[in-house]
Amino acid sequence: MNNRRKELVEQYKQRKPDMGIFIIRRKGENRCVLETSANVPAFINRVRFQLDLGSHTNRELQRDWKEHGETAFDIEILELLKYDKDETKTDYSEELAILKMVWEEKLLAEGMSFYRK
């Protein structure tokens, strides 16, 4: 039993969470927020929790969330980054920043506007 536990702990340590970019978009509006993270599912949960609690740092988004409710928004993963074959690389912040710039340009070209902090 103890060996199984150690094995599961080791598997957990070795997992690689999905990293990438996601969008929070108000339905029927061309307004959104782009977020990047090294752990997208966990960050989406965090953002939802902050918005539900009323403590999100983006005041405009928070106001609309409170006024219109969660059902007025879509949260969608736009793109996931692949991990490098080089297992020693752990910092993907530069790649995530570039990914965000690329998506901002794409969405601006489509007429999207952004919630600003």
| Residue in 117, 23, 4, 114 with CA at minimum distance from that of residue 76 | 23
Return the number of other C-beta atoms located less than 10 Å from residue 37's C-beta.
19
- With beta carbons less than 8 A apart as the criterion, state whether 32 and 103 touch: no
Is there a domain that residue 45 lies in? yes
Between 62 and 4, name the one with better pLDDT: 62
Place of tokens 């509006």: 29
Between 99 and 5, name the one with better pLDDT: 99
* Total domains in the fold of the chain: 1
Quick one: pLDDT at residue 83? Answer: 87
**What is the CATH classification number for the domain harbouring 83?**
3.40.1440.10
Is there a domain that residue 43 lies in? yes
Judge whether residue 103 has pLDDT over 80.
yes
Is there a domain that residue 69 lies in? yes
Order of strands across the sheet with 31-37? 73-81, 19-26, 31-37, 113-114
What band does 15 get if pLDDT is binned at 50, 70 and 90?
confident
Is there a domain that residue 57 lies in? yes
Judge whether residue 89 has pLDDT over 80.
no
Place of tokens 């609309």: 64
pTM: 0.85
Is there a domain that residue 29 lies in? yes
Residues 16-55 have pLDDT tens digits of 899 999 999 999 999 999 999 999 999 999 999 999 999 9
Is there a domain that residue 5 lies in? no
Task: For residue 82, give its domain range.
Answer: 16-99
Is there a domain that residue 20 lies in? yes
Quick one: pLDDT at residue 53? Answer: 97
Is there a domain that residue 1 lies in? no
Quick one: pLDDT at residue 45? Answer: 98
